[in-house]
Structure 1
Amino acid sequence: MLCVNQDHCLGCGACVIVCPVNQEIYPEVIGGNGPDTTDVVMLVENGVIKLFHPEKCVTCMKCNDTCPTKAIYHKGD
């Protein structure tokens, strides 16, 4: 299951942009635009990452690889 350590999250949104599932659902995210739908895996809300559909995660870990603080991670189910 995809998880976020909110104590370490900077709210930069890098994970939102690199997520291939987010890119498929909301292609505008590739250009750096935040999704305007909660159908995505995650988005920045009030300065932190909020997970809306972690079950859609394909465990590619691009979000973790991109996160400067490694605040987003995958925990075994």
Structure 2
Amino acid sequence: MFVTVVAVLCHLSASDCTEVLVTNSSLDAGVTFQSCMIGGQASLAQWKANHPIYRSDDWHIDRYKCVAGRYEARARI
């Protein structure tokens, strides 16, 4: 099953949030729906720490979701 991991990141200085496609099962063969649900928080924390834009403390992960299939992220929420 194709799985997409989506994070909603919000900037602290504004009420500005955006959806970001973190990864999917075609980019990382280890991504399954179950692994996303169980280990998603730890993986997202590591992804955020290494991301050039979102790694600052000005951004926080508001929520994430594991989506079965392909997903089109919305620019602003």
What is the TM-score when the length of structure 1 is the normalising length? 0.31
What is the TM-score when the length of structure 2 is the normalising length? 0.31
- Which structure carries more helix by proportion? 1
- Which structure carries more strand by proportion? 2
Relative contact order, CA 8 A, sep 6+: which one is greater? Answer: 2
Larger Rg belongs to: 2
